[in-house]
Amino acid sequence: MHPSRPRQPVRTWALYPLLLVASLSGSWALQWLGLASGPSVSLAILLPALVIQVIERRWPHHRSWRPNRRTWVVDLSHSLLSSAAVPSLLHAATIGALHAGTERLLTWGLALWPSDAPLGLQLLGALLVAEFGTYWAHRTYHELLPLWPIHAVHHSAEKMHSLAAGRTHPINIATTFFVSTAPLVLLGAPIETIALLNVFTGVNGLLQHANIDMRLGPLAWVFAGPDLHHYHHSRLLAESNANYGSNLIVWDVVFGTRHAPQGQRPSAAIGLNEASLPDHFWLHLGLPFTYKRNTSRYRRSTITPPPPNPATTKPGTSWPDPPTQTPRKPVTVS
């Protein structure tokens, strides 16, 4: 007989679906009661964010991922000024033109969105449409070298915690908006459906990056949860150039980029393999234009080793935490 496996805490398998369902239900209820979509989305994301923060502090998956005050403030600044403010501004600036395009399609008899379908099915359709654009935009940022410095801001995080989801350059945010939300508006998706999509994206992003041990089991073939996304933040290109889905993993399955080695857990060593950038908000904003200089200045003295052989690694084990290194002195670049 095989020895019995240790029982996993309930939060390991229940927290992810519970918070997603609760946030979506809460947003729908608030809109049904008459609250505007904007405030209902914000509240439906804020409350799970607070729950996640409490659990991260009480039961961290990796103690080395606990952010210090500076990292926490920098990631909070990104979350408020980049990930929240930029989409709101873009929505306000472009919604008129997008709706005009929708009206033109309707006059041509192209009513493409199934507005009479149940809201749950509309959300599923919105996820598939938005994720297709997001998948290819995300993959392009990784595979087209001139664009990588924009997306490298997000991968500069060396401590995986929920607010690291917001560490994204405004240009990256704008790209995601136009390839995900804009097509839905043009197709005629109602505001209620787009609001639920925004809630799903916001809460899923927090869960993906949370410093909490969560495992989706069979759901990891559908949703881009934390167990898959932690691989995406690996310092190894073979692992980080995979699992591009933001909410769903289905397009990774279709195009062969899903990465989930059997019997292995993601490493705690995350971030950019070529450099260890300081947590500085303004440096992050300028990184697309100063990437070569800053990655030379803060380049790593050692490169992350390859993962252990899965054949000799006990199922369910993870890589060890990275060893503590002395601070690197800036390298003078001639």
Residue 149 lies in a domain: yes
Residue 329 lies in a domain: no
How many structural domains are present in the chain? 1
Q: For residue 107, what pLDDT band results from cuts at 50, 70 and 90? A: low
pLDDT tens figures, 223-281: 999 989 999 999 888 889 999 999 999 999 999 999 998 878 888 889 988 888 889 99
Residue 36 lies in a domain: yes
Q: For residues 259 and 323, which has the higher predicted lDDT (pLDDT)?
A: 259
**Domain enclosing residue 259, as ranges:** 11-274
Amino acid letter at 26?
G
Residue 172 lies in a domain: yes
Beta carbons of 243 and 259 less than 8 angstroms apart? yes
DSSP tag of 66: -
| 298: nearest Cα among 325, 328, 322 | 328
pLDDT surpasses 90 at 331: no
Task: Note the pLDDT of residue 275.
Answer: 82
Token pair recorded at residue 17: 């679906």
Residue 309 lies in a domain: no
Residue 315 lies in a domain: no
Q: For residue 334, what pLDDT band results from cuts at 50, 70 and 90? A: very low
Residue 126 lies in a domain: yes
